[in-house]
Amino acid sequence: MKVIGFSGKARHGKTTAAQLIKPLLEEKGLKAEIIPLAKRMKEQAKMLGWDGSKDERGRRLLQEISWPVKHYFGIDIYAKWCYEQAVEQNLDVLLIDDVRMMAEIDYFNSLANKGEIESFDLVRIERPGFVSDLNAQALADVSETELDTYSFDYVIVNDGTLDELKEKLVKELAL
């Protein structure tokens, strides 16, 4: 299994990028799926009454809810759950549209180093000039800042149309 992770600030196009390349992989006969690391976290938040809105209150809940779970089960628990789902689905390519923490990167790199996955490529999506409507507290959260200085495998500038973003992804990822 290959794993392609997408990282970047909120609303820079991580999910859009994953959605653009998934059909291209499927056209090549590969079984590909987008499985967010935050999938289980969002399920947990909904069980607690979250309505699914990523407004200021909802985003804060998601940023805060993961820490007790990570403290109890381990910092990489959401990455492990994500990978388990991919294995259960027998995927050729796992697309992760929300890589935000070093522990997640370390987990998938360790799988690649042990030969449990074919490769782990990390793509940073950057949207220059985009002004976020997140509040200062949300922008300063570790989930928004931890990877600011990380050296990614690929950096894609999302500054045009969807077709232009798709072209950049195809070219950089050699799809």
Q: Is 160 or 144 the better-scoring residue by pLDDT?
A: 160
Query: Which tokens belong to 103?
Result: 């522990």
What pLDDT does residue 145 have?
87
Residue carrying the six token digits 């600030």: 9
pTM of this prediction exceeds 0.85: yes
Q: What is the pLDDT of residues 64-119, one digit of tens each?
A: 888 888 899 999 999 999 999 999 999 999 999 999 999 999 999 999 999 999 99
What pLDDT does residue 3 have?
98
Whole-number Å distance between alpha carbons of 90 and 57 = 36
What pLDDT does residue 175 have?
86
- Quick one: pLDDT band at residue 137, thresholds 50, 70, 90? confident
**What burial class does residue 94 get, using C-beta atoms within 10 Å of its C-beta: 0-12 exposed, 13-18 middle, 19+ buried?**
buried
Q: What is the mean pLDDT of residues 110-136?
A: 93
Domain ranges for the chain, please list them.
Answer: 2-173
CATH of domain 2-173: 3.40.50.300
Q: What is the pLDDT of residues 29-78, one digit of tens each?
A: 999 999 999 898 899 899 999 999 988 888 888 888 888 888 999 999 99
* Strand extents, DSSP E, the chain: 2-7, 32-34, 93-96, 119-126, 154-157
Whole-number Å distance between alpha carbons of 88 and 99 = 20
- pLDDT tops 90 at residue 158: yes
Of 65, 37, 35, 36, the closest CA to residue 49 belongs to: 65
Whether the CB-CB separation of 92 and 125 falls below 8 Å is answered with no
- Quick one: pLDDT band at residue 124, thresholds 50, 70, 90? very high
Whole-number Å distance between alpha carbons of 17 and 35 = 13
Whether the CB-CB separation of 172 and 24 falls below 8 Å is answered with no
What pLDDT does residue 49 have?
92
Of 50, 68, 75, the closest CA to residue 60 belongs to: 50
What pLDDT does residue 24 have?
97
What pLDDT does residue 62 have?
85
